[in-house]
Every structure is written in C-alpha cells, then in structure tokens.
Amino acid sequence: MKTILLSLLLGLLALTGRSQSLTSSYTNSTITTIPDGSPVGLMEQFTVSGVGGSVSNVQVTLDITGGFNGDLYAYLVDPQGQLVVLLNRPGVTGGNPFGYADAGMSITLDGLATNNIHDYGSTLGYNLIGTTWAADGRNTNPQSAGGLLYGTPTTANLSLFQNTDANGVWTFFIADLATGGGSASLNNVILSIMTVPEPQTWLMLGGGLALLGLLQRRKVS
C-alpha cells in the first residue's frame, strides 16, 4: 500500500510541476503619426485584469512604417513602475551618431530573445519583418553622444518583468527624437503577457503525506 501511495504522490508532483503557460494579448491598432523630432511622442496604456499567476515572459510587437529608425526611442512600464527601454535610437554608436536609416519595422521584442535590436544592422541578412529581437535595454538619455549611449551596458531586458503580477496598467511610450527623415507611423502595438499559474504542489503533497502517515499509524496499531 505504501508503495502505491508513494507512486501516486510522485505522479501528482509531476503533474503540478507542469504548470501550463497562459498568454494574454492586448492590442492598439489605431494608426498614429509619431511626431518628428519631438520628445512628447506617443503614449499607449493597456489595462490588465483578472490574470492569475506570475509573469513568465513579455513580448511587445511593433508595426511601424516610415521615418528613420535611428531616431526612435521607446519604453514599457509595468504596473509596479519598472521600466524597460525597448528602442534607444537603433544603430547609434560612437562612429554613427545618426543610427540606422531604415524606414520602419514589424518586429516582436521578446524577453527570451538574445539578438539586441540596437545592433540589428550588424546581423548578416537582417530582416525587420516578422522577426524577433531582444529589447535595447540601455536605460540612458537617448540624446547622449553616440559613444556614451552605445557604451552604456544593457541593464534591463523584458525579462525584468518575470515573476511579477501582471494586473494593472502597462504603459508604452515611443518618440522620434531627431528632425529629418520624415515622420513615422505607429500602426499597431501588441502587448503579450505570458503567465504561469501558481502550482498547488505543496497543498497536494501535504494532503498525501498526511494520508500516508494515517495509514502507517493504522498498520502499527
């Protein structure tokens, strides 16, 4: 009997250890022009409610057309006030103060990705349509000189939001910080939050051990 109960407990532990990830997505598809050369930029807010468990990953999908990618600065703030820089003037370095001249992108920034969006031009055969990148993560003044901006270490990727509560207001901001190159349009932004439900492992384990102890006492008596 003890062997059977132990086998059942191990099975329960295996099942509770496989918590299934759930994805909640929030979309703003209103086409809006990003003001050229203005720090005022655009702000979008997403209200998340009724999401259980803790955050396991966050993705931000951006559809931008036109403009000059090297002018763009964007960030995401979670309900706890934690900020992650998504774009910080892609391509700006000590040798390139203007950044990449590409016009627009349709990409997903992912907390589990490794290729940093700031350096996309150094990726052989790079593609900004339907591809996945890591957020810039350089939490420094986007108007800094190229060498200082690029030399700042990546301090916080989207993985910063892991193990937090998803519920509350998430704030997305984007701006075009240099004049010239035309105006970009934000066509779509999607916030996707993956959460893992809190496992009931200890509750089930405690009940199983109590039952095992009860049976053991009956056997002794």
Nearest to 79 by CA among 118, 107, 51, 111: 51
Q: Is the pLDDT of residue 188 over 90?
A: yes
Phi, psi of 126 (to 5 degrees): -60, 155
Least confident window among 62-71, 77-86, 187-196, 206-215: 206-215
The mean of the pLDDT values for the chain is 86
40-52 pLDDT tens trace: 999 999 999 999 9
Nearest to 194 by CA among 4, 54, 30: 54
> 202 in helix, strand or coil?
helix
* CA 193 to chain CA centroid, nearest Å: 7
Tell me the residue length of the chain: 221
Does the pTM of the predicted model rise above 0.85? no
CATH number of the domain at 20-198, please? 2.60.120.260
Q: Is 105 exposed, middle or buried (0-12, 13-18, 19+ CB in 10 A)?
A: buried
Place 21 in a pLDDT band, splitting at 50, 70 and 90: confident
Strand order of the β-sheet with 83-88 is 38-48, 168-176, 72-77, 83-88
> What's residue 1's pLDDT?
52
Q: Is the pLDDT of residue 216 over 70?
A: no
Nearest to 162 by CA among 195, 198, 117: 195
115-158 pLDDT tens trace: 999 999 999 899 999 999 999 999 999 999 999 999 999 988 99
> What's residue 132's pLDDT?
98
Least confident window among 4-18, 100-114, 130-144: 4-18
Place 197 in a pLDDT band, splitting at 50, 70 and 90: confident
* CA 41 to chain CA centroid, nearest Å: 21
> What's residue 10's pLDDT?
45
